Amino acid sequence: MRILLINGPNLNALGQRDPTLYGTMTLPEIEAAVVAGGEELDTEVVCFQSNSEGAIVDYIQEQTPNAQGIIINGGALSHYGLSLRDALSDTGLPVVEVHLSNIHARESWRQRSVTGSVAKGVIAGLGWSGYMYALDYLVTEITQGSGQ
Ligand code: DQA
């Protein structure tokens, strides 16, 4: 099984961004943890980060034929990235959206996610572990079907 782990704008700066919101782990550290978690579940996790919405849309279109699920933290694109939303929807793949911070406890404009509406579910506020929970869910969903 192959799962895409996609991170959007500014998530390459994790480790330097406000640690009270985003924790202290860098993106390479988080990606390594999710890849290792995938190996334990016989799942290949392929990582991609870009600060550009178009590059993420291109990546999703290219990779969809070879993937079974998507974990995405779209960063600020989650709140307004309609072409990202459409690209995710067009895949037909199960998507889990992750936010390190609890977007519902922040500014009102952050509380809405346009990409979350095409996801199976959204995990927010659990830090980097959110990516691990997303992986666990997707592997179970894809191999067994959760019935939800
Ligand atoms: C974020 C939340 C977004 O509002 C913000 O723009 C980010 C990170 C999160 O992981 O909490 O860049 O997606």
The mean pLDDT value of the chain amounts to 97
The answer to whether the pTM exceeds 0.95 is yes
Domain 2-144 has what CATH class?
Answer: alpha beta
Which residue's CA lies nearest to atom 8 of ligand 1?
A: 75
Catalytic residue list contains 104: no
How much distance in Å is there from the Cα of 42 to the middle of ligand 1?
A: 29
Handedness of CA 35, 41, 46, 47 (dihedral sign): negative
- The tens digit of pLDDT for each residue in 49-90 reads 999 999 999 999 999 999 999 999 999 999 999 999 999 999
- CA-closest candidate to residue 135, choices 24, 33, 8: 33
Q: List the domain boundaries for the chain.
A: 2-144
| 147: pLDDT strictly greater than 70 | no
Query: Tokens 């992986």 — which residue?
Result: 135
| 145: pLDDT strictly greater than 90 | no
Cα-Cα end-to-end distance for the chain = 20
Question: Quick one: residue 105, left, alpha or beta (phi over 0 = left, psi -120 to 50 = alpha)?
Answer: alpha
Tell me the percentage of the chain whose pLDDT exceeds 70: 98
- Return the structure tokens found at 118: 């095409």
Q: How far apart are CA 71 and CA 97, in angstroms?
A: 6
* Cα 42 → chain centroid: 19
Ligand 1 contact, 85 CB (< 6 A): no
Candidates 24, 25, 26, 78: which one to mutate for ligand 1, based on the most atoms within 8 Å of Cβ?
78
148 confidence band (pLDDT: 50, 70, 90): low
Which residue's CA lies nearest to atom 1 of ligand 1?
A: 75
Mean pLDDT of 108-136: 98
| 48: pLDDT strictly greater than 70 | yes
| 116: pLDDT strictly greater than 70 | yes
Catalytic residue list contains 59: no
- The tens digit of pLDDT for each residue in 84-111 reads 999 999 999 999 999 999 999 999 999 9
